[in-house]
C-alpha cells in the first residue's frame, strides 16, 4: 500500500514565515545550506537530498535549474511553490508537464528574445500564434515555423556584419550569456528542454528545441552587441583617446569590454526579468497541469 507523503506542519510554518532561505547548489546537510529541492525533501521528512522521492522528476529538473542560475533574491521566489511539489511523484502528470515546458520554450521563451530585433518580430508573432503544443504531432507541426525563425535570426546576425563583433568582442557574448543565457535559458529554457525530452519525439524535439535555442541565442547576442558596441568605443576613448583601441593595448580593451558587459546586461535585464516571471508562471502550471487543461 502506497503512503501519501505528508508535510511536517512546523516546517511548513517556518518556510511560510520566511525563516528558510534558499541557497544555490546542493549541500552535505541542511545546516550547511539548502536548495529548493532539499527544502522539498525536508518538508516531507525525507533524508537530506536534492532528489526527493515525493516530487516529480520533471519538476525537480526545472526547479534545480531555476534555483542554481537565478540570483539570491530571485531564487527566494521559488519558496511558495515548494510545498505543492510534495506528492507529485508518480501522479501521472509528467507527460503533460513536459509538453507545457516545450510549449513555453517555443511559444514564449523564443519569441521574447526575437522581439529584441525588429526584423524578427514577424517570426516572434508566428511562434506565438502556433496552437498549444500538447502532443508529438503538435511538436512536428511547429517545427517548420520554429526552423524558419532560427534561419531568420541567423541571417539577421550575419547581415549585421563584423563591426559590432569587432567592437565589443568576446565581452559582448559574455555579457549576453551571463545576463540572459544563464539566467533565462538555463534557468527556464534548458529546464524546459530536460522536461520536454521526456515526452517529445526525438526528431520533432531536435528540430524544435535546437532551432528555438539558436534563434533565441542569436537575438540575445545581437541585442547585447548593439548595446555593447557604443559602450566599448566610448570606454576605449576615455581610457586612451581615439587611438587606444589599436594602440593602447590590453588596458584600453579591458576598460572597453567592462563597459560593454555592463551595457549589455542593462539592455537585456528587462527581458531576463520578464522571462523569470514567466518561468514562475510556468512552474505554477506544471505543478498542477490539469488545472489549465
Query: What does the pLDDT look like over 156-191, one tens digit per residue?
Result: 666 654 444 444 444 333 333 333 333 344 445 555
Q: Is residue 4 part of a domain?
A: no
Q: Which whole-number Å values give the CA distances from 179 to 92, 210, 220, 265, 273, in the listed order?
A: 36, 21, 10, 5, 10
Q: Is residue 13 part of a domain?
A: yes
Question: By CB neighbour count within 10 A (0-12 exposed, 13-18 middle, 19+ buried), where does 3 fall?
Answer: exposed
Is 39 contained in some domain? yes
Q: Are residues 79 and 99 in the same domain?
A: no
Q: Are residues 48 and 137 in the same domain?
A: no
23 & 105 share domain: no
Instruction: Please check whether residue 154 lies inside any domain of the structure.
Output: yes
| Whether residues 20 and 109 fall in one domain | no
Residue-wise DSSP of 25-92: S--SSTTT---HHHHHHHHTT--S-SS-TTS-HHHHHHHHHHHHHS-HHHHGGGGGGSGGGTT-TTSS
Q: Based on the domain organization, do 110 and 38 belong to the same domain?
A: no
Give 130-158 pLDDT, tens digit per residue: 999 888 788 878 888 888 887 887 776 66
**Residues 188, 102 share a domain:** yes
What integer pLDDT is reported at residue 146 of this predicted model? 82
Average of per-residue pLDDT across 112-139: 86
* 81 and 120 together in one domain: no
Instruction: State how far the Cα of 135 lies from the Cα of 115, in Å rounded to an integer.
Output: 26
Neighbouring C-alpha atoms within 13 Å toward the C-beta of 128: 13
Instruction: Tell me, yes or no, whether 1 lies in a domain.
Output: no
Cβ pair 24, 75 in contact under 8 A: yes
Cβ atoms of 253 and 235 within 8 Å: the answer is no
Could you give the dihedral angle defined by the CA atoms of residues 74, 77, 78 and 81, in that order, rounded to the nearest 10 degrees? -160
The predicted-structure confidence for 191-249, as pLDDT tens digits, reads as follows: 565 665 555 555 554 555 556 656 666 665 555 555 554 454 444 444 444 454 455 55
Q: 159 and 283 share a domain?
A: yes
- Domain of 81? 9-57+69-85
Exposure on the CB side of residue 276, measured as CA atoms within 13 A: 24
Percent of the chain's residues with pLDDT above 90: 28
79 & 143 share domain:
no
Domain count, the chain: 2
**Rounded to two decimals, what is the model's pTM?**
0.76
Residues 31 and 118 in one domain: no
Amino acid at each position: 500500500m502506497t503512503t501519501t507523503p505528508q508535510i511536517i506542519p512546523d516546517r511548513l510554518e517556518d518556510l511560510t514565515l520566511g525563516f528558510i532561505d534558499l541557497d544555490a547548489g546542493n549541500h552535505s546537510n541542511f545546516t550547511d545550506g539548502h536548495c529548493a529541492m532539499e527544502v522539498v525533501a525536508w518538508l516531507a521528512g525525507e533524508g537530506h537530498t536534492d532528489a526527493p522521492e515525493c516530487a516529480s522528476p520533471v519538476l525537480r529538473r526545472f526547479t534545480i535549474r531555476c534555483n542554481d542560475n537565478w540570483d539570491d533574491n530571485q531564487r527566494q521566489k521559488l519558496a511558495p511553490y515548494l510545498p505543492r511539489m510534495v506528492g507529485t511523484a508518480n501522479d501521472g502528470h509528467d507527460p503533460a508537464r513536459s509538453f507545457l515546458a516545450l510549449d513555453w520554450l517555443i511559444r514564449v521563451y523564443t519569441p521574447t528574445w526575437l522581439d529584441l530585433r525588429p526584423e524578427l518580430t514577424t517570426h516572434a508573432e508566428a511562434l506565438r500564434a502556433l496552437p498549444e503544443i500538447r502532443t508529438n504531432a503538435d511538436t512536428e507541426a511547429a517545427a517548420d515555423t520554429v526552423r524558419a525563425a532560427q534561419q531568420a535570426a541567423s541571417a539577421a546576425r550575419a547581415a549585421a556584419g563584423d563591426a559590432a563583433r569587432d567592437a565589443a568582442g568576446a565581452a559582448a557574448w559574455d555579457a549576453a550569456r551571463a545576463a540572459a543565457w544563464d539566467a533565462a535559458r538555463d534557468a527556464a529554457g534548458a529546464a524546459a528542454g530536460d522536461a520536454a525530452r521526456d515526452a517529445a519525439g526525438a526528431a520533432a524535439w531536435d528540430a524544435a528545441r535546437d532551432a528555438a535555442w539558436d534563434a533565441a541565442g542569436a537575438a540575445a547576442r545581437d541585442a547585447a552587441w548593439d548595446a555593447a558596441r557604443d559602450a566599448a568605443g566610448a570606454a576605449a576613448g576615455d581610457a586612451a583617446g581615439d587611438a587606444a583601441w589599436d594602440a593602447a593595448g590590453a588596458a584600453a580593451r579591458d576598460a572597453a569590454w567592462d563597459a560593454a558587459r555592463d551595457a549589455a546586461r542593462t539592455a537585456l535585464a528587462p527581458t531576463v526579468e520578464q522571462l523569470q516571471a514567466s518561468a514562475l508562471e510556468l512552474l505554477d502550471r506544471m505543478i498542477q497541469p490539469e488545472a489549465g487543461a
